[in-house]
Each structure stands twice: as structure tokens, then as C-alpha cells.
């Protein structure tokens, strides 16, 4: 059996994936190898994912962002899912999770893997539920069959809710929102019905063997995460976390990479404590957090409430942030929701990296600020996180090409533009020095994730056409070429 990235790293081997990661992070390949060998970083890279451009998740590297896509029982089809995948990659998703719960699960998964240059994650228990009449009918063998099939299809990481144990369930009594994880609630129902331990926990070492064979990374699910501020930091959440720490070490013993998922809904003053506790309990395995949302009062704006928490989590050491879209708690996201969620979370990840003083992280900010001061509108648009949005907003009120040379925008106009006034003052004979641009992004030590443009992946191995179930799909364009 071929070695995993973790096994190679422990043996002192720098793999091609690690070399690619080092180039993207502007780090020494040996440093990448050491971080992977110690379990402090993961390189999700299923051997069957031919179109993958490898990336790394770990607190010593640029903070990463995951985008969730997927259909539901009522909404979306394969074409729509490929469009959402394209949108996610174009607007800067570092990984994408296919959380489909509707029809054609295999076709959608195969298409996502075939056409994605970023790692693809899944939650196998969702397919298990679709394969039986009732969640209580799920069996250990069914779960293992589904996990093995998805590994063979090229899925790079899977959320496995193996930390929800029978003895944890009474700890959720008294919560305001109970068990809000889909996987956690399904397994709780199964355990209540059968009076037996979580089958994913019982079969965990078998899952490790499957993951080792295909080099799939664990994303240990937090099935008892808090679903509201009132439930944050309770005994149920932390009892599961302790179990996830044990499972992390078991997976490492099998040579399998691990990251650990985290909450959820957490008051801002408790976020750093959550990150630090996970690091201690899980021996530094990368922390992958959903938000967290810092208030529960803003449905329709939870990409904002959660990005606030995500920034704090990233600053405290979370390695990857799972985006939340404006549709969270309300409905299935569409392409525009994916775009909005990614914008919020790319901002959060970048702000965290700047706060943590990652090498070169602020260079992008400095370059855009210099372009802004110089009224170099074309360069401002090119450097913007979302160039299309920046250009569109500017042109709504000043659409003419002549305004691309103007020393003002429509906010202040000619007379009140502070930067124009400052420039004029500095050009006059006086005490103020002229300001010159000094930032060279080509020479920046920053990771690719902290440099424009977002969504810059190697797509050479991504096919132009995909044949699924006898039907040929031609995605709208190459990723990043909108």
C-alpha cells in the first residue's frame, strides 16, 4: 500500500504535493514536511483526485477558507452544482465541501472531484441516510461501504462524526437548540433507537484503514457543537472534544492526517478559549471552525455575524474557516450567496493573517492603499478582493472612462476629497514630504492566499469536459476566468 502524506513526512520524504504547497505558501519545503510529520498541518490529497492543486491547512500557514455547496431534496441539479463549484473556486475557496442531500449524489460528487482543483470534502453519513428508509436502518457495513466508495471516487477529506458517544447524549438536555449538527442528530437518533454505541466510533480503526489506503484526511466532526450562544461551552461540547482528541491520536497511529472541526455559535469573548482548548486536547491538530457566529439575532446577515467570529478564531490560531452565507438558517445558497459568503470569509482569513503578522500578509493592503492614494483606479480594481464588485460600484455613479483618471470619487467629489487635498498640500513648498509607493507584490514573501487575485489555482489538470452517467457536461469556463 502506498504511503500517505503523513507517513512520507515522518519518513523524511518531501513529496511533490509538499513541494507545491511550499511554493504556494512561500515556505521552505522542509518546514512543510515537519509540520505535516508532527500533525500540525494537513495536505488533503486523495491519490485519485487527478485535477488537484495541493494546498496545506495549518496554523503556521495562511488561514484557509472552505465553501460548502450541495443540493437538497428540493433544490439544485448537477449543472447548478458545477456552477456553484466554479463560483466558489473563482472567488477564493481553498477547499469545497459537497454537502448534497438530494438526488444523484454519486454523479454530483464525481463531477465535483473531476472538475475541482481544490480539495473536495464530504459527509458520508448523508449518503447513508439516503440509502435507507429511516436513519435507524443505517448499519456499520453500509457506512464503511459508502466511505470506501467515496474514497475511491477521489474525495480528499471526510467529516466523520465519531466523537458523539451514547454517554454524551444526556449532556445535551437543557440546551436551547439541542443537537444542531445534521450528522450528530442522525447518530443520536440511531443510538437512542438501538441502545448501542456510535457505529462510526466502533468502526473508527476500519475507517482509518480505508483512509490510509487512499490518503483521505479526517475532518473529525463536532456533532455536539453549540447551535446558539446559550449552549456554547457546555459539557456536551467539551465531552465530545475530549473524544476527538483520542480519535486524533488513533488516526495518527494509522498514518492518517487529521483536522478537527469546531463550533458553531460562540460569544466573542469565548472564541480564543475554544481555539486554545482544542489545540491542547487535540495535540495541535489543525482546527477547522464554522464561523463561529457571535450573535443569533441576524438571519439574512449571518455571513457577517460569523465572519466577525471567524476573524477572531483565525487570529487565535484556527487553521481553516468554513464560510457561512447570507442564507444560513434560511435556505439553500445559490451562486450569489456563495460569492457573498466567500468575500466575507476571505476578508476574515486575510485580516487574521495580518493580525498574526504572517510574512508579507499586509503587503496586499499596502499596495492597494498606495494605488488608492495615487488615484490609480485601474490598479485599485485589479488589487481588490472582488475586482468586479469594486469596478461595478465605482461605475454606478461615475461610469465614464474619463473618471478612471479622476482625483476623486462620488463620495466626496472634487472639492472635499481628502487625499487630493493632502497631495496638493505636499506638493506645495512646506514641511510635508511627498508620499511615494514602495510595495512590490512580486517580491512579497506572502503566501498566495494573501496576494491578489483570489482563486489562483493551477488548473492545468482540470478537464474541459466531464462525462457523468453517459452525459457530457461542459462547465462554463476554466476556473478563475470569469
Asked whether the predicted pLDDT for residue 468 surpasses 80, the reply is no
- Pair 304, 266: CB distance under 8 Å: no
State pLDDT tens for residues 217-242.
999 999 999 999 999 999 999 999 99
Domain count, the chain: 2
Asked whether the predicted pLDDT for residue 482 surpasses 60, the reply is no
Are β-strands 258-262 and 320-322 bridged in parallel, bridged antiparallel, or unpaired?
Answer: unpaired
Could you tell me if 254 and 375 lie in one domain?
no
**Greatest mean pLDDT range, 332-336, 349-353, 388-392, 429-433:** 349-353
Could you tell me if 345 and 367 lie in one domain?
no
Share of the chain above pLDDT 70, in %: 97
| Residue 453 within any structural domain of the chain | no
pLDDT band per the 50, 70, 90 thresholds, residue 477: very low
| Residue 461 within any structural domain of the chain | no
| Residue 464 within any structural domain of the chain | no
Asked whether the predicted pLDDT for residue 265 surpasses 60, the reply is yes
> 27 or 431: which carries more pLDDT confidence?
27
Task: Please give the average per-residue pLDDT across 46-67, as a whole number.
Answer: 98
Q: Can you give the CATH number for the domain in which 226 is found?
A: 3.20.20.540
Could you tell me if 378 and 247 lie in one domain?
no
> 478 or 223: which carries more pLDDT confidence?
223
Three-class DSSP category at 119: coil
Give the pLDDT of residue 475: 57
Q: Round to whole Å and give the CA distance between 427 and 210.
A: 68
Q: Which of 354, 381, 406 is a domain's end point?
A: 354
Could you tell me if 342 and 407 lie in one domain?
no
Could you tell me if 288 and 416 lie in one domain?
no
Q: Round to whole Å and give the CA distance between 135 and 396.
A: 52
Share of the chain above pLDDT 90, in %: 83
- Pair 125, 143: CB distance under 8 Å: yes
Asked whether the predicted pLDDT for residue 440 surpasses 90, the reply is yes
Q: What is the mean pLDDT of the chain?
A: 94
Give the pLDDT of residue 415: 86
- Pair 189, 136: CB distance under 8 Å: yes
Q: Which of 321, 354, 387 is a domain's end point?
A: 354
User: How many other CB atoms are found less than 10 A from the CB of residue 33?
Assistant: 25
Give the pLDDT of residue 474: 66
State pLDDT tens for residues 287-300.
999 999 999 999 99
| Residue 250 within any structural domain of the chain | yes
Whole-prediction pTM value? 0.95
Q: Which of 320, 354, 388 is a domain's end point?
A: 354
Domain of residue 391, residue span: 362-448
Asked whether the predicted pLDDT for residue 102 surpasses 60, the reply is yes
Asked whether the predicted pLDDT for residue 127 surpasses 50, the reply is yes
| Residue 465 within any structural domain of the chain | no
Could you tell me if 107 and 61 lie in one domain?
yes
Task: Please give the average per-residue pLDDT across 333-361, as a whole number.
Answer: 97
DSSP single-letter state for residue 293: B
Q: Round to whole Å and give the CA distance between 403 and 377.
A: 9
| Residue 161 within any structural domain of the chain | yes
pLDDT band per the 50, 70, 90 thresholds, residue 431: confident
Task: Please give the average per-residue pLDDT across 355-373, as a whole number.
Answer: 97
Asked whether the predicted pLDDT for residue 407 surpasses 90, the reply is no
Task: Please give the average per-residue pLDDT across 150-160, as a whole number.
Answer: 99
Could you tell me if 347 and 373 lie in one domain?
no
Asked whether the predicted pLDDT for residue 480 surpasses 60, the reply is no
pLDDT band per the 50, 70, 90 thresholds, residue 476: low
Amino acid at each position: 500500500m502506498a504511503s500517505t502524506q503523513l507517513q512520507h513526512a515522518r519518513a523524511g520524504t518531501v513529496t511533490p504535493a509538499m513541494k507545491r504547497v511550499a511554493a504556494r505558501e512561500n515556505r521552505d519545503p522542509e518546514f512543510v514536511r515537519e509540520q505535516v510529520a508532527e500533525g500540525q498541518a494537513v495536505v488533503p490529497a486523495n491519490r485519485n483526485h487527478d485535477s488537484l492543486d495541493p494546498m496545506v491547512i495549518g496554523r503556521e500557514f495562511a488561514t484557509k477558507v472552505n465553501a460548502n455547496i450541495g443540493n437538497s431534496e428540493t433544490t439544485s441539479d448537477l449543472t447548478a452544482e458545477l456552477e456553484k463549484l466554479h463560483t466558489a473556486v473563482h472567488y477564493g475557496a481553498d477547499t469545497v465541501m459537497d454537502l448534497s442531500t438530494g438526488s444523484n449524489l454519486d454523479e454530483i460528487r464525481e463531477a465535483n472531484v473531476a472538475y475541482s482543483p481544490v480539495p473536495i470534502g464530504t459527509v458520508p453519513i448523508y449518503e447513508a441516510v439516503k440509502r435507507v428508509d429511516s436513519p435507524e436502518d443505517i448499519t456499520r457495513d453500509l457506512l464503511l461501504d459508502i466511505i470506501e466508495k467515496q474514497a475511491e471516487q477521489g474525495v480528499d477529506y471526510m467529516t466523520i462524526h465519531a466523537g458523539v458517544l451514547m454517554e454524551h447524549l444526556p449532556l445535551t438536555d437543557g440546551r436551547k437548540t439541542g443537537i444542531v449538527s445534521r450528522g450528530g442528530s442522525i447518530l443520536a437518533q440511531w443510538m437512542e433507537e438501538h441502545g448501542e454505541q456510535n457505529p462510526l466510533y466502533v468502526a473508527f480503526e476500519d475507517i482509518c484503514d480505508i483512509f490510509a489506503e487512499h490518503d483521505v484526511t479526517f475532518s473529525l466532526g463536532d456533532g455536539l457543537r453549540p447551535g446558539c450562544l446559550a449552549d456554547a461551552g457546555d459539557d456536551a461540547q467539551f465531552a465530545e472534544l475530549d473524544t476527538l482528541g483520542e480519535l486524533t491520536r488513533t488516526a495518527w497511529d494509522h498514518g492518517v492526517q487529521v483536522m478537527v472541526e469546531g463550533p458553531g455559535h460562540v460569544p466573542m469573548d469565548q472564541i480564543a478559549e475554544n481555539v486554545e482548548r482544542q489545540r491542547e486536547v487535540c495535540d495541535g491538530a489543525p482546527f477547522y471552525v464554522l464561523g463561529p457566529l457571535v450573535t443569533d439575532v441576524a438571519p439574512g446577515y449571518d455571513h457577517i455575524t460569523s465572519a466577525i467570529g471567524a476573524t477572531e478564531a483565525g487570529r487565535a490560531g484556527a487553521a481553516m474557516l468554513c464560510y457561512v452565507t447570507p442564507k444560513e438558517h434560511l435556505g439553500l445558497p445559490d451562486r450569489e450567496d456563495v460569492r457573498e459568503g466567500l468575500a466575507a470569509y476571505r476578508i476574515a482569513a486575510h485580516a487574521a493573517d495580518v493580525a498574526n503578522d504572517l510574512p508579507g500578509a499586509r503587503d496586499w493592503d499596502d499596495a492597494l492603499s498606495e494605488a488608492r492614494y495615487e488615484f490609480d483606479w485601474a490598479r485599485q480594481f485589479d488589487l481588490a478582493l472582488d475586482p468586479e464588485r469594486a469596478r461595478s460600484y465605482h461605475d454606478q455613479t461615475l461610469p465614464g472612462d474619463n473618471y478612471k483618471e479622476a482625483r476623486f470619487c462620488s463620495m466626496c467629489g472634487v472639492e472635499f476629497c481628502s487625499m487630493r487635498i493632502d497631495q496638493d498640500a505636499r506638493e506645495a513648498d512646506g514641511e510635508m514630504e511627498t508620499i511615494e509607493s514602495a510595495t512590490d507584490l512580486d517580491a512579497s514573501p506572502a503566501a498566495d492566499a494573501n496576494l491578489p487575485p483570489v482563486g489562483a489555482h493551477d488548473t492545468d489538470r482540470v478537464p474541459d469536459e466531464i462525462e457523468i452517467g453517459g452525459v457530457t457536461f461542459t462547465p462554463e469556463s476554466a476556473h478563475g476566468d470569469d
